Structure 1
Amino acid sequence: MEWFTAPDYWLARLVFQRALAAVYLVAFVGAALQFRALIGERGMLPVPRFTARVPFRRAPSLFQLRYSDRLFAVAACTGALCAVALLAGLDAELPLWAGMLLWLLPWLLYLSIVNVGQTWYGFGWESLLLETGFLAVFLGPHDLAPPLLVLFLLRWLLFRVEFGAGLIKMRGDACWRKLTCLDYHHETQPMPGPLSWFFHHLPKPVHRVEVAANHATQLLLPFLLFTPQPVASCAAVVMAVTQLWLVLSGNFSWLNWLTIALALSAVDFTPLTGAPPALAEPPLWYELMVYAVTALVLVLSYRPVRNLLSRRQVMNSSFDPLHLVNSYGAFGSVGRIRHEIAVEGTDEPVPLPDGAAWKEYGFHGKPGEPGRMPRQFAPYHLRLDWMMWFAALSPAYARGWFGAFVERLLEGDRDTLKLLRHNPFPDAPPRFVRARLYRYRYTTWGELRATGAWWDRTYVREFLPPTRLTTTSQPPQHSDRPSPSQSSDH
Structure 2
Amino acid sequence: MAGVRVAKDLFLWSMSVIYLFAFGSLYVQLPGLFGDNGILPARLVVKPAANSWGELLDDHPTLLRLTPKLGLSTQSAMDLLCLAGIVTSFMCMVFKGLRDTVSFIVLWMLYLSLYHAGQTFLWFQWDILLLETGFLAILVAPLNLNVFGLRSSSYHHHDNITMWLVKWLLFRLMFASGVVKLTSKCPTWWGLTALVYHFETQCIPTPAAWFWSQFPTWLLKLSVVITYFIEIPLPFLFFAPVRCLRLFAFWMQVLLQVLIMITGNYNFFNLLTIVLCFSLLDDELFFRKKASGAKTKRSLIWTILRIISNVVFPLAVFAFSGFFLVKLFGLHFEKDYTIQSNIQFDYQKFTEWLKFIMPYTMWLGVLSLGYEIFISVLRSLKEEKSQVQKVWSLLKVVVFGAVAVGMFSISLVSLNVIEGESYWRLPSTVRIWHKRVESFELTSSYGLFRVMTGVGGRPEVIIEGRNRLNGEWKEYEFLYKPGNVSRAPPIVAPHQPRLDWQLWFAALGNYQNNPWFLNLIYRLLTGQKEVLDLIAHNPFPSAPPKYMRATLYHYHFTKDQPDYDGYTTEDWWTRTKHMEYLPELMVQDETFVSYLKSANIIQEGRPPEPSTIFGSILDFIRAQIGGTEGFTFVMSLFGLGIAIQMLNGLFF
TM-score by length of 2: 0.66
CA 1:232–1:103: 2 relative to 1, 3 Å? same
Conservation of the 8 A alpha-carbon contact between 2:466 and 2:545:
yes
Task: Using the TM superposition, give the Cα deviation of residue 464 of structure 1 relative to its aligned residue in structure 2, in angstroms.
Answer: 1.4
Aligned to 2:114: 113
Task: Using the TM superposition, give the Cα deviation of residue 105 of structure 1 relative to its aligned residue in structure 2, in angstroms.
Answer: 0.4
Task: Using the TM superposition, give the Cα deviation of residue 468 of structure 1 relative to its aligned residue in structure 2, in angstroms.
Answer: 1.9
**Superposition pairs for residues 326-365 of structure 1, below 5 Å?**
326-335=444-453, 336=455, 337-348=457-468, 350=469, 352=470, 355=471, 357-365=472-480
Matched, 1:370 2:485: yes
Aligned to 2:612: none
Aligned to 2:126: 125
Aligned to 2:404: 294
Aligned to 2:8: 13
Which residue, 541, 557, 567 being the options, matches 1:426? 541
Which residue, 244, 259, 276 being the options, matches 1:262? 276
Q: What are structure 1's unaligned runs of at least 5 residues?
A: 1-5, 478-490
**Superposition pairs for residues 17-416 of structure 1, below 5 Å?**
17-52=12-47, 57-65=58-66, 66=68, 68-90=74-96, 92=97, 99-141=100-142, 143-145=154-156, 147-172=159-184, 173-228=186-241, 229-274=243-288, 283=393, 286-310=396-420, 320-335=438-453, 336=455, 337-348=457-468, 350=469, 352=470, 355=471, 357-396=472-511, 399-416=514-531
CA 1:109–1:423: 2 relative to 1, 3 Å? same
Task: Using the TM superposition, give the Cα deviation of residue 171 of structure 1 relative to its aligned residue in structure 2, in angstroms.
Answer: 1.1
The structure number with the bigger radius of gyration is 2
Q: What is the alpha-carbon distance in structure 1 between the residues aligned to residue 24 and residue 403 of structure 2?
A: 29
Conservation of the 8 A alpha-carbon contact between 2:461 and 2:507:
yes
Q: What is the alpha-carbon distance in structure 2 between the residues aligned to residue 432 and residue 332 of structure 1?
A: 38
Q: What are structure 2's unaligned runs of at least 5 residues?
A: 50-54, 143-152, 291-382, 424-433, 596-652
Which residue, 441, 457, 470 being the options, matches 2:575? 457
- Identical columns (%): 31
Whichever residue aligns with residue 122 of structure 2, its letter is: Y
Query: Secondary structure at 2:551's aligned position in 1?
Result: strand
Conservation of the 8 A alpha-carbon contact between 2:37 and 2:530:
no
Q: What is the alpha-carbon distance in structure 2 between the residues aligned to residue 93 and residue 470 of structure 1?
A: 54
Q: How many residues align?
A: 454
Conservation of the 8 A alpha-carbon contact between 1:237 and 1:267:
no
- Cα offsets for 1:437-465 (capped at 9, x unmatched): 11111111147874511111111122112
CA 1:378–1:414: 2 relative to 1, 3 Å? same
Conservation of the 8 A alpha-carbon contact between 2:511 and 2:518:
no
Task: Using the TM superposition, give the Cα deviation of residue 175 of structure 1 relative to its aligned residue in structure 2, in angstroms.
Answer: 2.0
Conservation of the 8 A alpha-carbon contact between 1:464 and 1:473:
no
Q: What is the alpha-carbon distance in structure 1 between the residues aligned to residue 92 and residue 194 of structure 2?
A: 40
Conservation of the 8 A alpha-carbon contact between 2:206 and 2:265:
yes
Task: Using the TM superposition, give the Cα deviation of residue 133 of structure 1 relative to its aligned residue in structure 2, in angstroms.
Answer: 0.6
Conservation of the 8 A alpha-carbon contact between 1:467 and 1:473:
no
Q: What is the alpha-carbon distance in structure 2 between the residues aligned to residue 93 and residue 46 of structure 1?
A: 34
Q: What is the alpha-carbon distance in structure 2 between the residues aligned to residue 104 and residue 24 of structure 1?
A: 12
Greater helix share, structure number: 2
Aligned to 1:483: none
Q: What is the alpha-carbon distance in structure 1 between the residues aligned to residue 404 and residue 512 of structure 2?
A: 38
Q: CA RMSD in A?
A: 2.6
CA 1:396–1:297: 2 relative to 1, 3 Å? farther
Q: What is the alpha-carbon distance in structure 2 between the residues aligned to residue 293 and residue 77 of structure 1?
A: 31
Q: What is the alpha-carbon distance in structure 1 between the residues aligned to residue 422 and residue 289 of structure 2?
A: 47
Whichever residue aligns with residue 72 of structure 1, its letter is: M
Conservation of the 8 A alpha-carbon contact between 1:188 and 1:338:
yes
Conservation of the 8 A alpha-carbon contact between 2:523 and 2:531:
yes
CA 1:414–1:271: 2 relative to 1, 3 Å? same
CA 1:275–1:111: 2 relative to 1, 3 Å? farther
Q: What is the alpha-carbon distance in structure 2 between the residues aligned to residue 170 and residue 417 of structure 1?
A: 41
Whichever residue aligns with residue 462 of structure 2, its letter is: A
Task: Using the TM superposition, give the Cα deviation of residue 7 of structure 1 relative to its aligned residue in structure 2, in angstroms.
Answer: 6.1
CA 1:53–1:40: 2 relative to 1, 3 Å? same
Conservation of the 8 A alpha-carbon contact between 2:549 and 2:582:
yes
Q: What is the alpha-carbon distance in structure 2 between the residues aligned to residue 25 and residue 159 of structure 1?
A: 25
Task: Using the TM superposition, give the Cα deviation of residue 57 of structure 1 relative to its aligned residue in structure 2, in angstroms.
Answer: 2.5
Q: What is the alpha-carbon distance in structure 2 between the residues aligned to residue 191 and residue 384 of structure 1?
A: 12
Aligned to 1:487: none
